Structures are given as structure tokens and as C-alpha cells.
Structure 1
Amino acid sequence: MLRLAAYQDDTRDRDRVANYPLKDATFTATPQMALTIAIGNTDRLPVMVLEDEELVGFLVLIKGDDVKEVGADPDVAILIRSVSVAENQRGKGYASRALQMLPEFVRRHFTFATTLVLSVDHGNLPAQKLYEKVGYVDTGRRGYGTYGEQYVLEQLI
């Protein structure tokens, strides 16, 4: 059964991340890269997408001033970063199911939050379609990253 769980920096979760197959991190950070920033940072919550006990996806939820980088209000918004699905688990619907579960997860962990926000690279068409499918809308705000223009999307929760 698919579920979302906060990453615990223990042997079990470190092993899950070490064995997570993601070689092409063109449009995202690997869990290892994301964790170097998130561990010890109270404004960042690494989240594992687990199918039974296997790590099939990963993302980071960010609160506080860092949400301002996409023009969002830190009093109500949670920024989603480093979304990925394990290379050997793609095409099974894990990303869309996890994103559909995310609002409830966020409401439990961040009771102030009313909005989820993320940015997606202009060239990452599969991700854009996924986010649209699960209810994210283009805010009209734009950012710029490694691969050029990024669209800022949000969903009310």
C-alpha cells in the first residue's frame, strides 16, 4: 500500500536512500543531494513515498522564508522540491497518487498551510502534465533555474 512518511535519519531510511535508483537527475535533485540540505534544517521535511516498505519516490517540503523564492506567502504556503520517482518504478502511477495524498499529509504536519507551491522547468513536459492532472494551476509567476525558465504552480489545500 502506498503511503507518505517523513524521512528519519536512521539506518533503515539511510539504506533506502542509498539504494534509490535515480541516475538521471536532470530536472530534480537526488534524495542524497536534497538530504544534505534538509538534514538538520527545521524548515525542510524530507518525505519518502513508500510502496509497502520500498522507497519508490521522494520529495522535500519547505516552509518559511525559502517559499518566497517562488513568490509565495510563507504564512500559508509550503514549497515542494526535489520530486522524483525511482527509475525502476516509473509508469506505475506513484507520482500522481503521492501528489494526491500530499494535501492531507501537509495538513497533518503543517497546520497553517493552505497552499502547496512548486516550480517546474519549461522543458519538463511530463512533469507539467502530471501537476496539471492532479490539480496544480499556473500562477503566472516565473523563475529561472539551471535549465531556463520555470513555471510556478500552486494548489489550494
Structure 2
Amino acid sequence: MPLGRAIHSLEITLGKGGQLARAMGVVAKLIAKEGKSASLKLPYGEVRLIFKNFSTTVGQVGNVGVNQKSLDRDGSKHWLGKRPVVRGVVMNPVDHPHGGGEGSAPIGRKKPITPWVYPALGRRSRKRNKYSDNLILHCRSK
């Protein structure tokens, strides 16, 4: 496969099937090949090594303009199966950690959290010593 080729649906584990770059309009690029491995630039900016014998699909995933589609009127999102999302701030304290207070009260805690009291919005969730750290050559910008 020539360098600079656009590919998608990359395997990370042999025989497991495509795991990377599977969304609509997404593409990864082949940067370099050396020995048994190849370097890829993933859509979110990460440069990563994968083994050459893993399967991929050549080309780009279809339906590129899905994000440009205009949802004309109220209910269009609902027709697509997207349910309404209620903010935690407008709930009661029994329903969400952000709930309660008089009027439009702010979040009563120092940092935003999920309904199950895990930190939300900005906390890094990747494990510190993950086994695949040595395969990532350049992590995405922070």
C-alpha cells in the first residue's frame, strides 16, 4: 500500500475487526512503513504504530456531509431517535448532584460531576500505564 493512502476501519487486535476510524467521513493516513509495523496519522491528530498484517479498509467512510444536514424544524432530532436531554441544574437534588437551590442556582460544587458522582468535563480518563502507550508516537494535542 503506498504512503499517504487514506484508510479506515483499522484493527488494533488481530482478528477483532475494525476499531479505529469507523465514523462517517473519517479517514486515517498511512505515513511510514518500517519492518513489521506502519505509522498512521489518525483523524484526531494522534500518530500511532500498528502492525502491517492487521486488516484495514482502503478509502474513506461514506456519508461525509452528515454534519452539514440542516434539521428544519422542532422534532427533527426526535425523528432520528435522539431523546431530549434535561440539564442536571434544573433537576431536584435527589435526581442529580447539580440539582436544587432557589431559582436558577449554579452548580453547588467546585467541579462538575456526572449523576453517578464521577468527575465530568475535562478530567482525563485514560489509564496512566496502558499497555499500548509504547505504540503511540505522538499523542493528540491537549
TM-score range, shorter chain: under 0.3
Tell me which protein shows more strand as a share of its residues: 1
Higher helix share: 1
TM-score normalised over the length of structure 1: 0.20
